[in-house]
Structure 1
Amino acid sequence: MTPPTLHTQRLTLRAPVMADFPAYAAFWASERAVHMGGPKDVAGAWFWFCHEVAQWPLLGHGSLMVDHTAGGQTVGLVGLNGGPKFPEVELGWLVYEGHAGQGYATEAAGALRDWAFDNLGVESLVSYTDADNTASIRVAQRLGAVLDASAVRSDPQDLVWRHARRMQ
Protein backbone atom coordinates (compact mmCIF):
# COMPACT_ATOMS: atom_id res chain seq x y z
CA MET A 1 0.00 0.00 0.00
CA THR A 2 1.18 3.50 -0.76
CA PRO A 3 1.30 5.65 2.37
CA PRO A 4 -1.44 8.28 2.46
CA THR A 5 -0.90 11.98 2.98
CA LEU A 6 -3.20 13.22 5.73
CA HIS A 7 -3.99 16.78 6.75
CA THR A 8 -5.21 18.23 10.02
CA GLN A 9 -5.80 21.82 11.00
CA ARG A 10 -2.07 22.43 11.56
CA LEU A 11 -0.27 19.35 10.33
CA THR A 12 0.61 17.34 7.24
CA LEU A 13 1.30 13.64 7.75
CA ARG A 14 3.40 12.18 4.94
CA ALA A 15 5.57 9.23 4.01
CA PRO A 16 9.11 9.21 5.41
CA VAL A 17 11.96 9.94 3.00
CA MET A 18 15.71 9.50 3.40
CA ALA A 19 16.15 13.20 4.22
CA ASP A 20 14.13 12.55 7.42
CA PHE A 21 16.70 10.13 8.83
CA PRO A 22 19.15 12.59 10.47
CA ALA A 23 16.45 14.17 12.67
CA TYR A 24 14.97 10.74 13.38
CA ALA A 25 18.39 9.40 14.41
CA ALA A 26 18.93 12.46 16.62
CA PHE A 27 15.65 11.67 18.40
CA TRP A 28 16.77 8.07 19.03
CA ALA A 29 20.18 9.27 20.29
CA SER A 30 18.52 11.59 22.82
CA GLU A 31 17.02 11.06 26.24
CA ARG A 32 13.60 11.62 24.60
CA ALA A 33 13.82 7.96 23.46
CA VAL A 34 14.31 6.55 26.95
CA HIS A 35 10.71 5.31 27.23
CA MET A 36 11.01 3.49 23.89
CA GLY A 37 14.14 1.44 24.55
CA GLY A 38 16.60 4.21 23.71
CA PRO A 39 18.84 5.98 23.46
CA LYS A 40 20.12 4.12 20.41
CA ASP A 41 23.13 4.53 18.16
CA VAL A 42 22.82 5.24 14.43
CA ALA A 43 22.49 1.51 13.61
CA GLY A 44 19.64 1.15 16.12
CA ALA A 45 17.91 4.22 14.74
CA TRP A 46 18.33 2.87 11.21
CA PHE A 47 16.68 -0.41 12.24
CA TRP A 48 13.59 1.45 13.50
CA PHE A 49 13.53 3.88 10.57
CA CYS A 50 13.47 0.94 8.14
CA HIS A 51 10.72 -0.66 10.24
CA GLU A 52 8.65 2.55 9.97
CA VAL A 53 8.95 2.54 6.17
CA ALA A 54 8.83 -1.20 5.40
CA GLN A 55 5.48 -1.80 7.05
CA TRP A 56 3.59 0.04 4.29
CA PRO A 57 4.26 -2.49 1.49
CA LEU A 58 4.39 -5.46 3.87
CA LEU A 59 1.43 -4.81 6.17
CA GLY A 60 -0.60 -2.05 4.52
CA HIS A 61 0.15 0.41 7.31
CA GLY A 62 3.17 2.09 8.83
CA SER A 63 4.49 5.45 9.94
CA LEU A 64 4.11 8.99 8.71
CA MET A 65 6.28 12.00 9.38
CA VAL A 66 4.46 14.89 11.03
CA ASP A 67 5.15 18.29 9.47
CA HIS A 68 3.89 21.63 10.73
CA THR A 69 2.08 22.71 7.58
CA ALA A 70 2.59 26.47 7.87
CA GLY A 71 6.31 26.31 8.65
CA GLY A 72 7.17 23.05 6.89
CA GLN A 73 9.23 21.82 9.85
CA THR A 74 9.05 18.14 10.79
CA VAL A 75 7.94 17.91 14.42
CA GLY A 76 7.80 14.13 14.89
CA LEU A 77 6.34 10.87 13.65
CA VAL A 78 3.12 8.93 14.13
CA GLY A 79 2.71 5.30 13.19
CA LEU A 80 0.73 2.12 13.04
CA ASN A 81 3.06 -0.67 14.10
CA GLY A 82 2.64 -4.36 13.42
CA GLY A 83 4.69 -7.47 12.92
CA PRO A 84 6.12 -9.94 15.43
CA LYS A 85 7.01 -7.36 18.11
CA PHE A 86 3.46 -6.02 18.30
CA PRO A 87 0.66 -8.42 19.38
CA GLU A 88 -1.94 -5.97 18.01
CA VAL A 89 -1.73 -3.00 15.67
CA GLU A 90 -0.22 -0.24 17.75
CA LEU A 91 -0.86 3.48 17.35
CA GLY A 92 2.38 5.18 18.36
CA TRP A 93 3.88 8.65 18.26
CA LEU A 94 7.05 10.54 18.98
CA VAL A 95 7.75 14.25 19.11
CA TYR A 96 11.10 15.85 18.39
CA GLU A 97 12.96 18.08 20.82
CA GLY A 98 11.48 21.58 21.02
CA HIS A 99 8.00 20.53 19.85
CA ALA A 100 6.52 18.81 22.91
CA GLY A 101 3.53 20.26 24.72
CA GLN A 102 1.90 21.78 21.65
CA GLY A 103 -0.66 19.06 20.95
CA TYR A 104 1.06 17.72 17.84
CA ALA A 105 1.09 14.08 19.00
CA THR A 106 -2.61 14.12 19.87
CA GLU A 107 -3.59 15.83 16.62
CA ALA A 108 -1.48 13.58 14.40
CA ALA A 109 -2.32 10.34 16.23
CA GLY A 110 -6.03 11.16 16.09
CA ALA A 111 -5.83 11.64 12.33
CA LEU A 112 -3.95 8.38 11.80
CA ARG A 113 -6.28 6.51 14.17
CA ASP A 114 -9.30 7.70 12.19
CA TRP A 115 -7.59 6.75 8.91
CA ALA A 116 -6.89 3.26 10.29
CA PHE A 117 -10.49 2.73 11.34
CA ASP A 118 -11.73 3.92 7.94
CA ASN A 119 -9.20 2.01 5.82
CA LEU A 120 -7.86 -1.05 7.65
CA GLY A 121 -11.01 -2.69 8.95
CA VAL A 122 -9.67 -2.88 12.52
CA GLU A 123 -12.08 -2.63 15.43
CA SER A 124 -9.50 -1.33 17.87
CA LEU A 125 -5.89 -0.19 18.14
CA VAL A 126 -3.59 -0.18 21.13
CA SER A 127 -0.88 2.15 22.36
CA TYR A 128 1.90 0.61 24.45
CA THR A 129 3.37 3.09 26.94
CA ASP A 130 6.03 2.94 29.59
CA ALA A 131 4.36 3.52 32.97
CA ASP A 132 6.74 6.45 33.59
CA ASN A 133 5.97 8.18 30.27
CA THR A 134 3.38 10.61 31.58
CA ALA A 135 3.37 12.66 28.36
CA SER A 136 2.39 9.66 26.22
CA ILE A 137 -0.16 8.54 28.80
CA ARG A 138 -1.80 11.97 28.57
CA VAL A 139 -1.88 11.72 24.76
CA ALA A 140 -3.57 8.31 24.95
CA GLN A 141 -6.13 9.67 27.40
CA ARG A 142 -6.81 12.79 25.28
CA LEU A 143 -7.44 10.45 22.34
CA GLY A 144 -10.10 8.67 24.41
CA ALA A 145 -8.15 5.44 24.91
CA VAL A 146 -8.81 3.38 28.02
CA LEU A 147 -6.38 1.26 30.00
CA ASP A 148 -6.67 -2.43 29.07
CA ALA A 149 -4.95 -4.49 31.77
CA SER A 150 -5.85 -7.79 30.06
CA ALA A 151 -4.28 -6.95 26.67
CA VAL A 152 -1.37 -9.03 25.43
CA ARG A 153 1.92 -7.14 25.34
CA SER A 154 5.51 -7.90 24.34
CA ASP A 155 6.89 -6.07 27.36
CA PRO A 156 5.04 -7.08 30.54
CA GLN A 157 5.86 -3.68 32.08
CA ASP A 158 4.04 -1.71 29.37
CA LEU A 159 0.66 -0.14 29.95
CA VAL A 160 -1.78 -0.88 27.11
CA TRP A 161 -4.23 1.82 26.07
CA ARG A 162 -7.12 0.66 23.86
CA HIS A 163 -8.56 2.89 21.16
CA ALA A 164 -11.99 1.59 20.17
CA ARG A 165 -13.73 2.37 16.92
CA ARG A 166 -16.38 4.97 17.57
CA MET A 167 -19.94 4.29 16.45
CA GLN A 168 -21.03 6.53 13.60
Structure 2
Amino acid sequence: MSLVNAPRLETERLILRGPEPSDAEAMIAFLLDPVRAEGFGGYEHRGDAWRWFALNVGHWHLRGYGYFTIENKASGQPAGICGVWNPEGWPEPEIGWVVFDGFEGKGIAREAALRVRRYAYEDLGLSTITSNIVPGNTRSVALAERLGAVYERTYTNYAMGEDMLYRHPSAEEVLG
Protein backbone atom coordinates (compact mmCIF):
# COMPACT_ATOMS: atom_id res chain seq x y z
CA MET A 1 0.00 0.00 0.00
CA SER A 2 1.50 3.30 -1.11
CA LEU A 3 1.81 6.02 1.49
CA VAL A 4 1.32 8.73 -1.16
CA ASN A 5 -0.72 9.50 -4.24
CA ALA A 6 2.10 8.81 -6.69
CA PRO A 7 1.68 7.56 -10.23
CA ARG A 8 3.11 4.19 -11.15
CA LEU A 9 5.77 4.61 -13.84
CA GLU A 10 7.36 1.72 -15.69
CA THR A 11 10.41 1.07 -17.81
CA GLU A 12 11.59 -2.15 -19.38
CA ARG A 13 13.10 -3.44 -16.10
CA LEU A 14 11.73 -1.15 -13.41
CA ILE A 15 8.61 -0.01 -11.63
CA LEU A 16 8.76 3.46 -10.08
CA ARG A 17 6.09 3.77 -7.41
CA GLY A 18 5.28 5.66 -4.27
CA PRO A 19 6.98 4.63 -1.04
CA GLU A 20 5.36 1.81 0.93
CA PRO A 21 5.88 0.94 4.61
CA SER A 22 7.89 -2.14 3.59
CA ASP A 23 10.42 0.11 1.76
CA ALA A 24 11.56 1.74 4.99
CA GLU A 25 14.12 -0.94 5.93
CA ALA A 26 16.01 -0.76 2.62
CA MET A 27 16.10 3.04 2.77
CA ILE A 28 17.18 3.08 6.41
CA ALA A 29 19.96 0.55 5.68
CA PHE A 30 21.22 2.78 2.86
CA LEU A 31 21.11 5.96 4.97
CA LEU A 32 22.98 4.29 7.86
CA ASP A 33 25.84 3.16 5.59
CA PRO A 34 28.44 5.96 5.95
CA VAL A 35 30.24 5.07 2.73
CA ARG A 36 27.24 4.52 0.47
CA ALA A 37 25.19 7.46 1.81
CA GLU A 38 28.08 9.95 1.94
CA GLY A 39 26.85 11.96 -1.07
CA PHE A 40 23.27 11.80 0.13
CA GLY A 41 23.78 13.08 3.67
CA GLY A 42 23.62 9.75 5.55
CA TYR A 43 22.87 9.36 9.23
CA GLU A 44 24.44 7.78 12.30
CA HIS A 45 21.19 6.95 14.09
CA ARG A 46 18.32 4.76 12.91
CA GLY A 47 15.72 7.27 14.14
CA ASP A 48 17.19 10.00 11.93
CA ALA A 49 17.14 7.68 8.91
CA TRP A 50 13.52 6.75 9.67
CA ARG A 51 12.65 10.47 9.81
CA TRP A 52 14.21 10.96 6.35
CA PHE A 53 11.91 8.19 5.04
CA ALA A 54 8.96 10.03 6.60
CA LEU A 55 10.26 13.32 5.14
CA ASN A 56 9.96 11.86 1.64
CA VAL A 57 6.36 10.84 2.36
CA GLY A 58 5.64 14.38 3.55
CA HIS A 59 7.39 15.86 0.51
CA TRP A 60 4.94 13.96 -1.73
CA HIS A 61 1.99 15.37 0.22
CA LEU A 62 3.26 18.96 0.22
CA ARG A 63 4.72 19.16 -3.30
CA GLY A 64 2.73 16.50 -5.16
CA TYR A 65 5.97 14.72 -6.11
CA GLY A 66 9.04 13.23 -4.45
CA TYR A 67 11.29 10.20 -4.57
CA PHE A 68 9.80 7.08 -6.13
CA THR A 69 10.87 3.68 -4.91
CA ILE A 70 12.67 1.91 -7.75
CA GLU A 71 11.38 -1.64 -7.78
CA ASN A 72 13.20 -4.28 -9.78
CA LYS A 73 10.51 -5.99 -11.91
CA ALA A 74 12.32 -9.32 -11.95
CA SER A 75 12.77 -9.66 -8.18
CA GLY A 76 10.17 -7.27 -6.73
CA GLN A 77 12.92 -5.85 -4.49
CA PRO A 78 13.47 -2.15 -3.84
CA ALA A 79 16.57 -1.29 -5.88
CA GLY A 80 16.85 2.38 -4.91
CA ILE A 81 15.01 5.68 -5.17
CA CYS A 82 14.72 8.28 -7.91
CA GLY A 83 12.48 11.29 -8.17
CA VAL A 84 11.95 15.01 -8.23
CA TRP A 85 13.11 16.68 -5.01
CA ASN A 86 12.57 20.29 -3.98
CA PRO A 87 12.35 20.77 -0.20
CA GLU A 88 12.33 24.22 1.36
CA GLY A 89 15.67 25.92 0.72
CA TRP A 90 16.52 24.05 -2.50
CA PRO A 91 17.43 26.29 -5.46
CA GLU A 92 14.86 24.57 -7.75
CA PRO A 93 13.47 21.09 -8.47
CA GLU A 94 16.08 18.43 -9.09
CA ILE A 95 16.22 14.83 -10.22
CA GLY A 96 17.94 12.76 -7.58
CA TRP A 97 18.82 9.07 -7.49
CA VAL A 98 20.23 6.42 -5.21
CA VAL A 99 20.84 2.76 -6.01
CA PHE A 100 20.91 0.31 -3.12
CA ASP A 101 23.67 -2.19 -2.38
CA GLY A 102 23.73 -5.01 -4.93
CA PHE A 103 22.06 -3.01 -7.71
CA GLU A 104 24.98 -0.80 -8.82
CA GLY A 105 26.53 -1.00 -12.25
CA LYS A 106 23.40 -2.31 -13.96
CA GLY A 107 22.11 0.93 -15.50
CA ILE A 108 19.22 1.12 -13.04
CA ALA A 109 19.85 4.73 -11.96
CA ARG A 110 20.08 5.88 -15.59
CA GLU A 111 16.92 4.03 -16.61
CA ALA A 112 15.01 5.43 -13.64
CA ALA A 113 16.35 8.98 -14.09
CA LEU A 114 15.37 9.07 -17.78
CA ARG A 115 11.83 8.01 -16.88
CA VAL A 116 11.61 10.49 -13.99
CA ARG A 117 12.85 13.32 -16.21
CA ARG A 118 10.14 12.54 -18.75
CA TYR A 119 7.58 12.51 -15.89
CA ALA A 120 8.89 15.88 -14.65
CA TYR A 121 8.46 17.45 -18.07
CA GLU A 122 5.30 15.71 -19.31
CA ASP A 123 3.28 15.28 -16.13
CA LEU A 124 4.56 18.00 -13.80
CA GLY A 125 4.98 20.56 -16.57
CA LEU A 126 8.50 21.58 -15.58
CA SER A 127 10.49 23.28 -18.33
CA THR A 128 13.91 22.72 -16.78
CA ILE A 129 15.38 20.54 -14.04
CA THR A 130 18.73 20.10 -12.30
CA SER A 131 20.68 17.50 -10.37
CA ASN A 132 22.58 18.71 -7.32
CA ILE A 133 25.69 16.65 -6.61
CA VAL A 134 28.13 16.76 -3.72
CA PRO A 135 31.71 17.33 -4.95
CA GLY A 136 33.59 14.05 -5.12
CA ASN A 137 30.54 11.98 -6.05
CA THR A 138 32.11 10.97 -9.35
CA ARG A 139 29.53 8.27 -10.13
CA SER A 140 26.65 10.73 -9.93
CA VAL A 141 28.56 13.31 -11.97
CA ALA A 142 29.21 10.68 -14.65
CA LEU A 143 25.53 9.71 -14.72
CA ALA A 144 24.36 13.33 -14.88
CA GLU A 145 26.68 13.89 -17.83
CA ARG A 146 25.47 10.69 -19.56
CA LEU A 147 21.95 12.10 -19.16
CA GLY A 148 23.10 15.24 -20.99
CA ALA A 149 23.24 17.46 -17.90
CA VAL A 150 25.90 20.18 -17.88
CA TYR A 151 27.71 21.66 -14.89
CA GLU A 152 26.32 25.14 -14.26
CA ARG A 153 27.66 26.31 -10.91
CA THR A 154 28.69 25.41 -7.39
CA TYR A 155 26.58 26.77 -4.55
CA THR A 156 26.14 26.28 -0.82
CA ASN A 157 23.27 23.94 -0.03
CA TYR A 158 22.05 24.73 3.47
CA ALA A 159 21.59 21.03 4.26
CA MET A 160 24.48 19.44 2.35
CA GLY A 161 27.19 22.10 2.22
CA GLU A 162 28.90 22.65 -1.12
CA ASP A 163 26.88 21.27 -4.04
CA MET A 164 27.43 21.27 -7.79
CA LEU A 165 24.35 22.09 -9.84
CA TYR A 166 24.04 20.24 -13.16
CA ARG A 167 21.39 21.47 -15.60
CA HIS A 168 19.55 18.82 -17.63
CA PRO A 169 18.48 19.41 -21.22
CA SER A 170 15.24 21.43 -21.31
CA ALA A 171 11.79 19.94 -21.76
CA GLU A 172 11.80 21.18 -25.32
CA GLU A 173 15.09 19.44 -26.03
CA VAL A 174 14.01 16.17 -24.40
CA LEU A 175 10.43 15.99 -25.63
CA GLY A 176 10.98 17.59 -29.04
TM over 0.5: yes
Q: Distance in 2 between matches of 1:55 and 1:33?
A: 20
Q: Does 1:66 align with 2:75?
A: no
Q: Distance in 2 between matches of 1:100 and 1:145?
A: 20
**Aligned partner (choices 138, 141, 154) of residue 137 of structure 1:** 141
Q: CA deviation at 1:47?
A: 2.0
- After TM superposition, list the pairs within 5 Å mapping 1:14-25 onto structure 2: 14-25=17-28
Q: What is residue 163 of structure 2 aligned with on the other side?
A: 158
Unaligned runs of 5+ in 2: none
**TM-score under structure 1 length normalisation:** 0.92
3-state SS of paired residue (1:91): strand
Q: What is residue 122 of structure 2 aligned with on the other side?
A: 118
Whether the aligned pair in 2 keeps the contact of 1:89 and 1:125 (CA below 8 Å) is yes
The C-alpha deviation readout for 1:29-75, integer Å capped at 9, x for no partner, is 11200112224321221221112111222111111100111221211
Q: Distance in 2 between matches of 1:123 and 1:153?
A: 22
Q: Does 1:75 align with 2:79?
A: yes
Q: What is residue 30 of structure 2 aligned with on the other side?
A: 27
Q: Distance in 2 between matches of 1:160 and 1:27?
A: 23
- After TM superposition, list the pairs within 5 Å mapping 1:29-44 onto structure 2: 29-30=32-33, 31-44=35-48
Whether the aligned pair in 2 keeps the contact of 1:80 and 1:90 (CA below 8 Å) is yes
The C-alpha deviation readout for 1:68-95, integer Å capped at 9, x for no partner, is 1122121100121112131201110101
Q: Tell me which moved more, 52-61 or 103-112.
A: 52-61
Q: Tell me which moved more, 145-154 or 49-58.
A: 145-154
Q: Does 1:7 align with 2:13?
A: no
Unaligned runs of 5+ in 1: none
CA RMSD of aligned residues (A): 1.8
AA of the residue aligned to 1:160: L
**TM-score under structure 2 length normalisation:** 0.88
| Aligned length, in residue pairs | 168
**Identical counterparts, % of pairs:** 36
Whether the aligned pair in 1 keeps the contact of 2:72 and 2:79 (CA below 8 Å) is yes
Q: Distance in 2 between matches of 1:17 and 1:117?
A: 25
Name the CA shift for 1:70/1:149 in 2 (closer, same or farther; >3 Å).
Answer: same
3-state SS of paired residue (1:117): helix
Deviating beyond 2 angstroms after TM superposition, the runs of 4 or more aligned structure 1 residues are 150-156
